[in-house]
Amino acid sequence: MEVLNAEIGAVLTDRLVMPPFNKDQARMKAKFADGATAKLWGCNAGVDHWVYSDPSGSTLLFRENEAGPYYWRALNTHNVPKPSIAQGLANFWGIPVYGAQSGAHVEVFHLQHWITTNQYKAEMKRWPGPAQILRLTPDRGAYVLYSPGK
């Protein structure tokens, strides 16, 4: 619970099955029109059976004799493995949700068009700085369809 309480800006599937979110489920489902779908990208929204790990790579729960950080894997105490966030939201909203199996990358607006930050670095011999206009763009990749109730 400490991790869930600390990560107030994150959408975690455990939040969808506990108060206060589960109390608002019917109200949120009612906001979607018949035939509605959603599409999520970034943070590997279409990755199934997620088990959290910490920087050490460990997914095991804390043991008295274990050294190293214990933060994200604390989420493995309940509902493991986790559904993809796309499946969690499909179940919660009651609509089909497409989840990306890839993440996103940053692009910079340079000479009147968008290029990747790697292209910018190759041309300018430095990374873009805060003065440049940046955007987050989904990677091209596959989207998986998740149906409610699976």
Give dist(CA 5, CA 51) in Å, integer. Answer: 19
User: Is residue 108 situated within a structural domain?
Assistant: no
pLDDT in tens, 77-127: 888 888 999 999 999 999 999 998 877 788 999 999 999 999 999 999 999
Q: Does an H or E element contain 49, and which?
A: none
In a domain, 85, yes or no: yes
- Asked whether residue 61 is domain-assigned, the answer is yes
Output the CA–CA distances (angstroms, integers) from residue 19 to 16, 73, 79, 95, 121, in the order listed. Answer: 8, 21, 15, 21, 46
83 within some domain: yes
The reply to whether the predicted model has a pTM over 0.85 is no
Q: Domain for residue 134, yes or no? A: no
Q: Which three-class secondary structure state does DSSP give residue 141? A: coil
Q: What are phi and psi of 80, to 5 degrees?
A: -110, 140
Enclosing domain of residue 64? 2-103+139-146
Q: Tell me whether residue 98 is in a domain.
A: yes
Tell me whether residue 48 is in a domain. Answer: yes
How many independent structural domains does the chain possess?
1
Q: Which residues pair with residue 110 across a beta bridge?
A: 113
Tens-digit pLDDT profile for residues 36-90:
999 988 766 888 888 887 776 666 666 555 655 677 888 888 888 889 999 999 9
For residue 110, is it within any domain?
A: no
